[in-house]
Structure 1
Amino acid sequence: MSMGVSLRMLTLNCWGVPLVTSDKTVRFKFIAEELSKGEYDVIALQEVIYTSDYTLLCDHLSLTHPFHHYFHSGIKSGVCIFSNCPIIESAIFYYSLNSSPYKLNQLDWYARRMLGLVKIKHKGFIINIFTTHVCAIYTPLHYEKSDVLFSHRLAQCYEISNIIRQVGTSANVNVLMGDFNSEPFSLAKKVLMANAGLKDVWDERPNADDGSGETCECDTNCYTGLVHRVYEQFPKGMRIDYIMYNTNSGYKVQCTDARLALRKIPHSGLNPSDHEAVSATLEIQHCHDAQSPSPSNDLPSLLDNVEEKFLLAYNEVQHKRFQSAYLAALLGLLLFVIQLTSIMDIIYAKFVMSAFLVLVIWICLWDVCVQRVFEANSFMGLLENVRIRKMYSGKF
């Protein structure tokens, strides 16, 4: 076994979303100054939306982290990586399911959620750094049935695990960081780890007495409670931001430290974000006897649960498609009646009503013929993928 090298990492959702963020200028200045101290080799950031914020980060980190990559996707993905070692490749993997364009109050579809990858060369080791921001939760946790994006979030995490399984062999070590909007006990988090053979640094850290690691709605965060709480049943908050890793044959990785970082902005009482940053240090070594991770014993049962959820989601999509077709037919009949009768004698009012009905009918038909077809086919593809995976779940 050869001497190892350390890889120091940090991930943070910076809360840079337009209109809803607070104290952005002060917070981003602090984040940039702290990260420029050079304590981390690789930094993954989410919700860096404004070009000016990304430029600020690039300027401050130009000496310590001269290699950086912004994953351009949708209107703005907000996802970027900074590294102190060369980035030799990059790629984007788009999710087959990602909210809906109708949900104007939710930015997931417009940000076009994706999994970003940069391959770095760190002190002789080739490392894949994956990062993402999985679609958000908009309803309190105990209202799971009303969480319309639950199946999309599950699909995204399942697709991440498949991508890491298929692409991960191109490097010595794989690291996955980001905001997953999924609890440690969630099906999405469990199948992600089991299917890709990932380890969570928080579970592997030797400093386990440092707390339970809540990163969202933390009770010590000054921004908790400014908007509706998703995790109101958990007063201390919830851990939804993660750093995970796995290795390939011939390499051994050990987590030597994992903790929350960038907790407070001095002399202000503010936090750098509404999320907490997670940092970790991995010790990487050549080890001829080391083997690739074995499949989790829980994987078959997890895949059964995933298949059930995808099938329920597929049926729900088909039901919504029927509802849209039924509504389009009713509105078409109403439009026909308005045109042939004198129910509305005022020409202007009749024109406005007719135009409105035509617009709604067009949206319904788009939903029936395009949007729901895309969604249903995506779930069908995922179902077939899960069924194939179940047949060979004992192998990677």
Structure 2
Amino acid sequence: MDSSVPSTPTLTFNVLTYNCWGLKYLATHRIPRLLQIGTEISTLNPPPAIVALQECWTQQDYNAIREQTKHILPYGKFYWSGIFGGGLAILSRWPIVESRMHRYTLNGRPTAFFRGDWYVGKGVACAKIRLPGTEGAGEGKGRGRVVEVFCTHLHAPYEREPNDSYICHRTAQAWEISNLMRSSYSAGHIVLAMGDFNMIPLSLAHQIVERHGRASDVWRIKHPDSSIGAAVDDIERTRGRLIPSVGFNLTENGATCDSRLNTWRWTEEERKRLGKGEKIMVDDREEDPRAKRLDYIFLGDALGGSAVRDVEVGMTMRHPTLKCSLSDHFSVEATLEVNTDGPSGDETSNFYSTFLSGSLDTPLYLPTTTYTTILTMIEKYTLRERRQRRLRLSHFGGWVVTAIGCFVTIWWSPKNYVSFLLMLLSTLGLSAGVIDGLIGGLFMSGEIRALKEFEWEVRNARDAAIEVGGGGGQVGEGVMSGGRDEAVELYK
């Protein structure tokens, strides 16, 4: 080995993503649970360097966690979005040099107020964090690389795929965050996407994030044969596997949701017994048929040098006094090793030349059949929304005519109580019609235009995939090693 060749500087650090279940007024024991979440994060060994939180809805809860963790994570950002907030936050050991909130274009419907996805303004919390580089080593050369963090919470699946009426929204959201990841990848940044993606492994949204977003699911890097759904799901049953145990789901399948170990998934009777102080333990060997993986860490690095050393499910402990799980999800925690140095000084031009002209692979694409599936989904959903728009606008127009008729009838009405009933009918009916008119004329028109943009982007990507031969290749190839995407602008 030539000792004159300097070794590449690397940095090893831990990252964590966690859905806190901090719904204001709705989540049980919210304040003490989130306070304990901060305590548990602050005592992790080794401590995390970057933490992505979802469903941390109030700044009060965010501040409580920040107060507990500021000695290890002195930098943080609470992201504002929508009417009630996006529930996203990022904590960091290193300074956040740039941040923004990207709100999803397709994000549920205002009519589904009981679900709230549209009102909270779900999106992507973006943060650029510059890692320490050789400038801190005393030589005054180089700049630490940028890791770009994307924290998100995709639209919840309220029905089973493919009958989920929101699957088009979630697919569009996966596409949007993938566009952000892809741009960061092209800039030579380390891509770190974390959050509750509300999808199962190898699903359509998962394929989009991995291939179009140019990043690898770190759990599947370490556990490539892990489950792709809950044991009770048809997609998992076709694999012919035995029902996994609680312990196997945690250590091998990476199950973060609906685990038998999570007290919020217990029966009402079991929770009552727990609330009365009864000690209820779950055996790791117990069957766990409903547990699945919805929380992810994706890692991408166009320049190479990044690796996953370890990944595990965490935050499985219970609250010390309440005896309940800290959230209805578990966390995902990973140990990463990255190349910290970028180009510097006279090396910059050589680095650009090498990066742009050398052995860089063709961009990864989805199979063309997958693009066709997405386009068919968009077309089907667009037809549904156009029909809904026509019905809502017709409802508005019908009530305008009816209200005018009621006003005319009142003029000739011989009885006061008849006039009162007609006024009440016209007022209530016209109010409902106006709401439908606003939804159909404003919201749905905007949604249909967003679907047109989404359709164009997918068609454009499909055409590009066809040009390079159908978008073949394995998901993992080129994601965390060298690869040229669009024009590259390094180290923004």
Same fold? TM cut 0.5: yes
Whether 1:70 and 2:78 are equivalent positions in the alignment is: yes
Give % identity.
Answer: 23
Return closer, same or farther for 1:242/1:331 CA change in 2, 3 Å cut-off: same
Does 2:170 match 1:117? no
Quote the Cα distance in structure 2 between the aligned partners of 1:259 and 1:324.
Answer: 48
CA contact (8 A) 1:206 1:256 kept: no
2:223–2:252 contact (8 Å) kept in structure 1? no
Identify if the C-alpha distance between structure 1 residues 338 and 346 changes in structure 2 by more than 3 Å, giving closer, same or farther: same
Counterpart among 87, 97, 100 of residue 96 in structure 2: 87
Instruction: Decide whether aligned partners of structure 1 residues 123 and 347 sit closer, same or farther in structure 2, where only a CA change above 3 A counts.
Output: same
Matched, 1:352 2:424: yes
Residue deviations 1:322-378, cap 9 Å, x none? Answer: 111232333334334433335994333322211111111212221332111101000
Alignment of 1:1-396 (within 5 A): 2-37=8-43, 39-74=47-82, 75-124=84-133, 125-139=145-159, 141=160, 144-145=162-163, 147-205=164-222, 210-224=251-265, 235-249=289-303, 251-265=304-318, 267=320, 268-285=322-339, 295-296=363-364, 298-341=366-409, 342=413, 345-393=417-465, 394=468, 396=485
One-letter identity of the residue aligned with 2:180: I
Q: 1:167 to 1:197 in 2, by over 3 A?
A: closer
Q: CA 1:344–1:100 in structure 2 vs 1: closer, same or farther (change >3 Å)?
A: farther
> Which has more radius of gyration?
2
Q: Are the counterparts in 2 of residues 205 and 257 from structure 1 also a CA contact under 8 Å?
A: yes
- Cα distance in 1 between the residues matched to 2:193 and 2:33: 25
* Cα distance between partner residues in 2 of 1:28 and 1:293: 44
Distance 1:297 1:382, change over 3 A: closer
The answer to whether the Cα contact below 8 Å between 1:98 and 1:113 also exists between their aligned partners in 2 is yes
Q: Normalising by structure 2, report the TM-score.
A: 0.73
For the 8 Å contact 1:64–1:84, the answer to whether it is kept is: yes
Q: 2:37 is matched by which residue type in structure 1?
A: I
Distance in 2, Cα, partners of 1:298 & 1:153:
17
Letter in 2 for 1:61: T
8 Å CA contact retained: 1:128, 1:168:
no
Q: Report the TM-score, using the length of structure 1 for normalisation.
A: 0.90
Equivalent residues of 2:103, 2:123 under 8 A apart: yes
Root-mean-square deviation over aligned CA pairs: 2.5
- Tell me, what secondary structure is at the counterpart of 1:235? coil
Contact map agreement 2:54 2:87 (CA 8 A) in 1 = yes
- Three-state SS of the structure 2 residue aligned to 1:282 is strand
Q: Distance in 2 between matches of 1:56 and 1:170?
A: 35
- In the alignment, which residue of structure 2 is the partner of 1:230? none
Checking the alignment, whether the CA contact within 8 Å between 2:36 and 2:319 is kept in structure 1 is: no
Counterpart of 2:148 in structure 1: which amino acid?
A: N
- In 1: Cα distance, 2:165 partner to 2:212 partner: 24
Q: Which runs of 5+ in 1 are unaligned?
A: 228-233
Query: What is the one-letter code of the residue matched to 2:253?
Result: S
Residue 172 of structure 1, CA deviation: 3.1
SS of corresponding position for 1:269: coil
Contact 1:265–1:272 under 8 Å retained in 2: yes
Q: Which residue of 2 aligns with 1:231?
A: none
1:323 match: secondary structure: helix
CA contact (8 A) 1:247 1:292 kept: no
Task: Quote the offset at 1:383 in angstroms.
Answer: 0.5
Q: Which moved more, 1:148-157 or 1:164-173?
A: 164-173
Q: Distance in 2 between matches of 1:282 and 1:293?
A: 24
Task: Please give the alpha-carbon distance, in whole angstroms, between the structure 1 residues aligned to 2:202 and 2:416.
Answer: 57
Deviation at 1:104?
Answer: 1.4
Q: Answer whether contact 2:103 2:124 (CA < 8 A) is retained.
A: yes
Q: 1:47 to 1:293 in 2, by over 3 A?
A: farther
Contact 1:161-1:195 at 8 Å conserved across structures:
yes
Within 2, Cα distance between the matches of 1:212 and 1:281? 17
- Contact 2:131–2:340 (CA under 8 A) maintained in structure 1: no
Write the distance in 2 (CA, Å) between the matches of 1:167 and 1:387. Answer: 22
TM-aligned CA deviation for residue 28 of structure 1: 1.3
In 1, Cα distance between equivalents of 2:392 and 2:97: 48
Kept in 2, the 8 Å contact 1:217–1:225? The answer is no
* Aligned CA distance change for structure 1 residues 97 and 225 (closer, same or farther; 3 Å): farther
Amino acid of the residue matched to residue 431 of structure 2?
L
